[in-house]
């Protein structure tokens, strides 16, 4: 199954290449943009062009957003958010995410498959960036909501959820 939405334009590919520092290695769609139209969140195909698994369905690429979330991770907030949200709730987030991602794996695919949930995680929180990307893209992710709240409390500019 192909990704929903409109394929990226040449300008989108150039912008994403500049944001991530390399040419994208899988099909993607821009699902969230900032106020200037610059990509903030990508929806990635679950397999790279060489069929390597890509566990990150939603990828945060916006410079401002990546920088803001990095400040949270630098403050060692992952243990705090796990305790606040609870591992059972986080497990449910991972299950929803994996189901959403796995719909896009072709039935004919016989090689390695992406595993885990948000960012490939099996349990707990590995990456606040991935949770925030999922939440910005409309996912039901209390961890991503918590990240948004923390960015707001710290007056760190971020893209609004559509």
The pTM for the full model equals 0.95
Mean pLDDT of the chain: 94
Domain boundaries, the chain: 10-153
Q: What is the pLDDT of residue 157?
A: 74
Q: What is the 3-state secondary structure (H, E, C) of 103-125?
A: CCCCCCCCCCCCCCCHHHCCCCC
Residues near 118 by beta carbon (within 8 Å), at least 6 away in sequence: 93, 94, 97, 125, 126, 127, 130, 131, 134, 141, 143
Q: Is the dihedral of CA 96, 101, 103, 108 positive or negative?
A: negative
Residues 27, 3 contacting (CB under 8 angstroms) = yes
Grouped pLDDT means (10 residues each) for the chain, 162 residues: 90 98 96 95 96 95 95 91 97 97 94 94 95 97 97 86 76
Bridge partners (DSSP) listed for residue 46:
none
Task: Note the pLDDT tens digit of each residue in 111-128.
Answer: 999 999 999 999 999 999
Q: What is the pLDDT of residue 160?
A: 81
């Amino acid at each position: 199954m192909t990704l929903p939405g409109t394929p990226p334009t040449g300008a989108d590919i150039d912008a994403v290449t500049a944001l991530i520092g390399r040419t994208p290695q899988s099909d993607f769609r821009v699902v969230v943009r900032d106020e200037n139209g610059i990509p903030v969140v990508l929806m990635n195909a679950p397999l790279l062009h060489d069929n390597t698994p890509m566990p990150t369905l939603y990828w945060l690429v916006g410079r401002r957003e990546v920088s803001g979330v990095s400040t949270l991770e630098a403050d060692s907030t992952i243990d705090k958010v796990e305790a606040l949200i609870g591992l059972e709730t986080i497990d449910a987030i991972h299950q929803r995410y994996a189901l959403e991602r796995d719909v896009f794996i072709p039935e004919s695919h016989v090689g390695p498959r992406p595993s885990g949930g948000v960012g490939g995680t099996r349990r707990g929180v590995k990456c606040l960036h991935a949770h925030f990307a999922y939440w910005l893209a409309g996912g039901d992710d209390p961890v991503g909501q918590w990240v948004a709240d923390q960015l707001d409390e710290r007056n760190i500019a971020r893209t609004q959820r559509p």
